[in-house]
Amino acid sequence: MLDSKLNKDELAYSRYLTMAEAVFVGALDNLRSVVVSAKALSGIDYGHINQQIQSLKAERVTSAESSSLIEQQMDALQKRVEIYQKSQQHISTVLTENEQAMTELDRVTTQLSLISSQQGMELETAMEELRLLAQRAQKYSTR
Which range of 20-24, 69-73, 117-121 scores highest in mean pLDDT? It is: 69-73
Higher pLDDT, 4 or 59: 59
Burial of residue 58, with CB atoms counted within 10 A of its CB: 0-12 exposed, 13-18 middle, 19 or more buried: exposed
Higher pLDDT, 137 or 40: 40
On the question of pLDDT at 118 being above 50, the answer is no
What integer best gives the mean pLDDT of the chain?
81
* pLDDT for res 110: 80
Which range of 2-11, 12-21, 133-142 scores highest in mean pLDDT? It is: 12-21
